[in-house]
Structure 1
Amino acid sequence: MEEMIREDHPMESYLRMDRIPHIWCPTCGIGTTVSCFISALKKYEQKSLDQVVVVSGIGCTGRV
């Protein structure tokens, strides 16, 4: 049996790794949106993330 090698995800500290592979449909675009959102958070990280509020919708976007 082959041993599985786990690589760290570059945005792991911002993601719920227990939900990977992701919960979204392959072509919906939410993954790209989440990636852009995380990139913005990383830039903002120099300040306090305690001041960040996320408001999302229901359904798939509510899982962001």
Structure 2
Amino acid sequence: MSQLLINLRTLREERHISQEAVAFNLKITQSTYAKIEAGKTKLSVERLQAIADYFKVDVRELM
């Protein structure tokens, strides 16, 4: 698993945020977000930026 995926999950869990909440704010389904965290779907630059914005972190912090 890549460091990015580990960081996404860790950040979400440390903040006690559900996948459903993140997905809702990104306007995607929970299953799509789960696939992102699991590395089963490609993560576009735009989507990565949207996730960083949601968590109020710089994209580099996710990397």
Superposition TM-score, scaled by structure 1 size: 0.31
Structure scoring higher RCO (CA < 8 A, sep ≥ 6) equals 2
> Which protein has the bigger helix share?
2
Instruction: Answer with 1 or 2: which has the greater Rg.
Output: 1
